[in-house]
Chains A and B, each alone.
Chain A
Amino acid sequence: EPEVTQTPSHQVTQMGQEVILRCVPISNHLYFYWYRQILGQKVEFLVSFYNNEISEKSEIFDDQFSVERPDGSNFTLKIRSTKLEDSAMYFCASSWVTARGALDTEAFFGQGTRLTVV
């Protein structure tokens, strides 16, 4: 069964360092997302990406964050200068279509990358 894969599963980084989280969405999906979950809290939306550009982003997704689809398969989230409060589980997700008149917008999530900033 197709699945979203994320690497690494766990990353520890020093405050102020740049990190890149990687994701391979399901191959025929068109929409890609990043969500994060601070320990013990709910999952929060960060950004959605379609047709090589950001389609929506939340207030959390400030200038420290960027996303990129560098090739036909990978989707990355970069945090330019990590802060302690960036420690969280980061989930990548993908879906086939959007809500605009679509019949099926089910999103599938990767297993997550646990980022620890020290």
Chain B
Amino acid sequence: GIQVEQSPPDLILQEGANSTLRCNFSDSVNNLQWFHQNPWGQLINLFYIPSGTKQNGRLSATTVATERYSLLYISSSQTTDSGVYFCAVEKNSGYSTLTFGKGTMLLVSP
């Protein structure tokens, strides 16, 4: 099956700092999504971004499908940004199931 690798596995930031999270995938994909899992376990949709660049407030994401990677940028981080960030991809196979990476655990300290 398709492989999804996320880096770094853990990240500690001071409030106000910027960060870049990376997602590499091993095959062509039809869909790529970024999620934030909050401390209560909820998966929050951040971006649906099979290609191109999107921005939503302090967060932005870029997917370069031809090179099989996606980046999630967090600017001016806040303590509420803490949690696990997952990248998930849907292989271009005709099925719509998502394969998740192992996530990046982000801790933003005040």
Residues of A within 8 A of B (CB): 31, 33, 35, 37, 41-45, 48, 55-56, 89, 91, 93, 95, 97-100, 102, 104-109, 111-112, 114
Contacts and interface: CB of A to CB of B under 8 A. Distances in A.
Interface of B: 30-31, 33, 35, 40-43, 45, 48, 86, 88, 90, 92-103
Given A89-B41, A105-B90, A43 B95 contact: no
A116 to B, nearest CB: 13
Contacts, number: 69
B45 A105 contact: no
Given A43-B88, A99-B94, A112-B43, A106 B48 contact: yes
Nearest to B101: A42
Contact of B99 (A45, A56, A93): A45
A100 B90 CA distance: 11
Q: Sort A-B residue pairs by CB-CB distance and give the 3 closest, nearest first.
A: A106-B48, A98-B96, A99-B30
Most buried by B among A42, A108, A112: A42
Contacts of A35: 98
A109 B45 CA distance: 8
A61 to B, nearest CB: 11
